[in-house]
Structure 1
Amino acid sequence: MKFIQENILLIAVALVSGAMLLWPYLRRTTGGPSVNPAEATQLMNREDALVVDVREPGEYGAGHILGARNVPLSRIDDTPVAKKKDKPVIVYCDSGNRSAKAAAALRRQGFARVVNLAGGLGAWQQAGLPVEK
C-alpha cells in the first residue's frame, strides 16, 4: 500500500499511456473490418460491391467515388441501402469515422459483408483513384 501511495503519479502515467496505446486498436475493431483503397477497388471490380457514401449531400456533391450511392449517416437506419444483404458493401466518409458507425448500423440491419474504407475519401484520393462530381 505504501508503494502505491508513494508512486501514484507514476501509476497514473502508466495507465494513461496504456490507454493511449490501446485506443487506435479499439477504434479499429469497433467499426468492423476495413479495407484500403486497392482492396476496395478489387471488391468493386470482382464482386460488384455496392459503394455507399455516408457524408451529407453537400459533401457528396463536391466529389465522390464513381458510382457511389449517397446515404447520409443520419439516414442510414431509415433508408434502404440494398435489396440483397449478402452483397458486399463498402462504406466511406471523409476520414473513416462516420463510416465506421454506418458499417456497424448496416451490420445490425443484417448486411453480412460490410467493410469500411480505411482513411475514407482522403485515402482514396491519395491513392490517385478517380472521383466524380
Structure 2
Amino acid sequence: MPEGFDPQTIWMVAILLMAFAAMKYVIPRLVAGVPFLEPQAVQQRLTAGEDVVIVDVRSPDEFIGPLGHAPGAVNVPLGDLAGRLAAGAGGLDDLKGLPVFVMCKTANRSPHAARLLKKRGFTNVAVVKGGMGAWKRAGLPVETS
C-alpha cells in the first residue's frame, strides 16, 4: 500500500463516495416514489400522439433560457406547485387522469414535485431522468419561447 494511505483512510473515502452516490441517485428516487424514465421514452410517447403532460418545475427564466424546454411542456415552478395544487388553481386537477412527466434541469427538483403530485391524487406520474439537461444531450426537440 502506498505510504500515507492507511486502511482506515481508504474506508472513510469509500464510505463518503457511497454516501454521495446515495444522495445523488438513490434518495431522490425514494423521495419521489415514482418511476424515472429516460427522455427518449417520453419523446416516443409524444411522437406516438399519446395524451401526456410534461410539467417543468424550473423557474420561468430557466424555462425560456438557453436550455429551453420540451415542446408543449407546462411551466409550474416548484415553489408555486404546492400552492397551486392546494388551491386547485391553474387547471392542474384536470391533468390527474393523464400521464404526467415531471422535469427540471437535472432531476434534483423533479422528485419533490412528483411526490407533491402523488399526494394530491395524481396516479400516473414519472420523473424525466436527467431532466432537461439529459433531454437536450439526447438531441430531442427543444423550444425556447
Give unpaired runs (5+ residues) of structure 1.
Answer: 1-7
Structure 2 CA distance for partners of 1:10 and 1:56, relative to 1, 3 Å? closer
Q: Which residue of 2 aligns with 1:34?
A: 36
Q: Aligned pair count?
A: 127
Q: Which residue of 1 aligns with 2:55?
A: 52
Q: Which amino acid aligns with 2:27?
A: L
Cα deviation digits, residues 38-89 of structure 1 (max 9, x gap): 1111333353210111011111111111111110001112224240412100
State the percentage of identical aligned residues: 38
CA distance in 1 between partners of 2:17 and 2:76 (Å): 38
What TM-score does the superposition give when structure 1 sets the normalisation length?
0.80
More strand by share: 1
Please give the root-mean-square deviation of Cα atoms over the aligned residues, in Å. Answer: 2.3
CA contact (8 A) 2:40 2:140 kept: no
What TM-score does the superposition give when structure 2 sets the normalisation length?
0.74
| Shift, 1:99, TM fit | 1.1
CA distance in 1 between partners of 2:59 and 2:141 (Å): 20
Q: Which amino acid aligns with 1:47?
A: E
Give unpaired runs (5+ residues) of structure 2.
Answer: 1-7, 85-90
Q: 1:74 aligns with which of 66, 76, 79?
A: 79
Q: 1:101 aligns with which of 112, 115, 123?
A: 112
